[in-house]
Amino acid sequence: MDPELKKILEETHALAKDNHKMLRAIRRDQWLGFIGKIIVWAIVLAVPLFLYQRYFEPIISDVTGTASTTPSGLFGLPTSAETQKLINYFKAGH
C-alpha cells in the first residue's frame, strides 16, 4: 500500500473515531437533558399540589366549615362570600 494513501486512511480513521465519540456524547447529553426536563416538570407540577394539600386546604376547610363540600363558584373556585370569610379569618389572627 502506498505510504501516502495509508497516512490518509489512518487520518480518516482517527477522524471517524473522534466523530463517533462526539456523537455519543451528544446523544448522552440529550438523554440527560430529557430526563432533567421530566424531573423539573414533575417538581413544578407536584410542589403546588403538595403545598395546597398540606397548608391551604386545612385553612380553607376551616373557613368554609366542611372539608367535603366543593366551592360553588365558577370552575369550582370559591365564591366572593367564601373569599371574604377567608380574609376575615386571617384578619382575626387565626
- Number of domains present in the structure of the chain: 1
Q: The pTM is what?
A: 0.50
Tell the burial category of 64 from Cβ atoms under 10 Å away from its Cβ (0-12, 13-18, 19+).
middle
Could you report the per-residue pLDDT of 24-57, keeping only the tens digit for each? 999 999 999 999 999 999 999 999 989 888 888 8
> pLDDT category, 72, cuts 50, 70, 90?
low
The CA R_g of the chain, rounded to the nearest whole Å, is 31
Query: Phi and psi of 34, rounded to 5°?
Result: -65, -45
| Residue numbers of the domain that contains 62 | 3-91
> pLDDT category, 12, cuts 50, 70, 90?
very high
